[in-house]
Amino acid sequence: MSDNPSYKQRKVITIGVVSELTGLSERQIRYYEERKLVFPQRSPKGNRKYSFADVELLIDIANKREEGVQTFEIRQDMLREERKKEKKLRKQLLRGEINARFGVQKE
């Protein structure tokens, strides 16, 4: 993440507000953290701070849970998506290195 994240990525929302926005209980939100589905930051006093992206993710998780998808399956899907993004980024970086090395320019 960059030094200056977008408003959507900034971790500024408390768990109480996230609970109100998502309709999830604070206990459910903490459970999803325990299951490594969401990763809040901690304030110096230890309070959890979430981003708008986290709120969207929690809503998505809640919808999947309502459909009967287990948290383990959700985590596996998240890891698969992460690997796809990393693979795509590595491919782009390699292509850039090759282009730079051999002087290939985009048309």
Q: How do residues 52-86 score in pLDDT, each as one tens digit?
A: 999 999 999 999 999 999 999 999 999 999 999 99
pTM exceeds 0.95, yes or no: no
Q: What is the CATH number of the domain that holds 98?
A: 1.10.1660.10
Q: Is residue 8 part of a domain?
A: no
Q: Is residue 5 part of a domain?
A: no
Q: Is residue 61 part of a domain?
A: yes
Q: Is residue 1 part of a domain?
A: no
Q: Is residue 7 part of a domain?
A: no
Write out the residue range of the structural domain in which residue 55 sits. Answer: 13-102
Taking each helix axis as running N to C, give the angle between helix 15-22 and helix 52-66, from 0 to 180 degrees, rounded to the nearest 10: 50
What pLDDT digit, counting tens, does each position of 5-31 carry? 788 999 999 999 999 999 999 999 999
Distance in angstroms (rounded) separating the CA atoms of residues 98 and 90: 12
DSSP state of 4: S
Average pLDDT value over all residues in the chain: 91
Number of structural domains (the chain) is: 1
Q: Is residue 25 part of a domain?
A: yes
Distance in angstroms (rounded) separating the CA atoms of residues 94 and 81: 20
Q: The sheet that has 13-14: what strands, in order across it?
A: 13-14, 48-50, 41-42
